[in-house]
Amino acid sequence: MKLTKTVLVIGAGINGLSCAILLQKAGCKVTIISKDDPQTHHSNSIFASYFPSASIIPHSIYSDELIPLFRESLHYFVSLHKHEYQGIGINEHYELFEFQKAIPAYAPLIPNFTELEAFESSWHPKHHSIKINSGWKFDCFFADWSIYYPALLEEFINRGGKLEIKRLDIDSIQRLPFQLIVNCAGAGASELFEQKNPLLYRGHLIHVSGAPILRNPLNKRVSYNFSPKTTSGKSSDVYCYPRKDGWILGGSRQKGTLGESGFWLGEESGELAEVINGVEAPKRILKLNKEIIKDSFGLNLDDYQQRSIKVGYRYVRDTNNGLRLEAEEWGDKLIIHNYGHGGAGVTLSWGCAQKVVSMIEARA
């Protein structure tokens, strides 16, 4: 069905842009309102689309609709890769555990999903003192963020999209001259529509500039998540995602919220810290990644000293069914909510966007 509607999208993150582009393709005239300018504003950690490792894997997401949304989204990434969309590539991705880990429910959807026993005697990322007891590898679509996100923004503008930079509140939303609004405000949605402190994941990401693409002996590009045992009960994996502009190293998922002054109120790592440009990150992220990269690829992390760090936040909202993907009558306006993606904002972006379009078509 071809739509001929004027639509406002709140939020210029990955889900806002994905919804806007699919709505444009469906025939809608779309305006995005964002409190931060995605073309210039890089300092706000709540604006999570500047801070993803951007692997297309449904990690840290709570939704009853996970499987169908991931399936739909994966179809889009397959198509984008086929048509050589900017920034979309494929990694041979490894998820390796020192402990026993159950196969994820989404495994049947993943291209070339292979369990550890089939490749443990051949090459894979390793650590000299950590025995891997379970895991898998698969072909993982990957969005090189410094390329992919600007390409999406350019596509939206080239399709006639309008971008406005301003801060909204409940009163100003009611006065907006739009009857159809798609709410992709992420953590900001809690202030606008729920009036409660958002449950967030805090993550530390270290960008190592100038580091080369990691490759296996067959020259395939490689990324990994590596999870040693922990006595704390908290996630302690580390990961490395090579991009064109270097490596993204990470490995912290701390639950909490932000106080009124913007300070973190929640879990702390309780670990030794590494300070990079005045910002602390768990030392484990650099230490373990350094050892894995040395043991697996023969490269020395210390050879690449140009580093920066970001502390980014993902809106979890709820650990039962945190994703909010539903329509709400709001006075004379129809609000389509699309937020609470946790750590899978990129992963589910196209699937959620298609669901939004379908909800609007059903009411046309």
* pLDDT single digits (tens) 207-218: 999 999 999 999
Burial 55-79 (b: 16+ CB within 10 A, else e): bbbbbbbbbebbeebbebbbebbee
**Degrees to nearest 5, angle at CA 236 with 122 and 277:** 105
| Token couple for 40 | 């210039």
Separation of alpha carbons 290 and 313, rounded Å: 25
Q: Which of 314, 308, 201 is nearest to 247 (CA)?
A: 308
Residue 91 has pLDDT above 70, yes or no: yes
The pTM of the full predicted model, rounded to 2 decimals, is 0.91
DSSP 322: -
Give the amino acid at 109. Answer: L
Residue 308 has pLDDT above 70, yes or no: yes
Residue 90, phi then psi, degrees to nearest 5: -130, 130
Cross-strand partners of 313 = 202
**Around Cβ 260, how many Cβ atoms within 10 Å?**
7
pLDDT in tens, 187-238: 888 778 876 777 888 888 899 999 999 999 999 999 999 999 875 545 578 9
DSSP 21: H
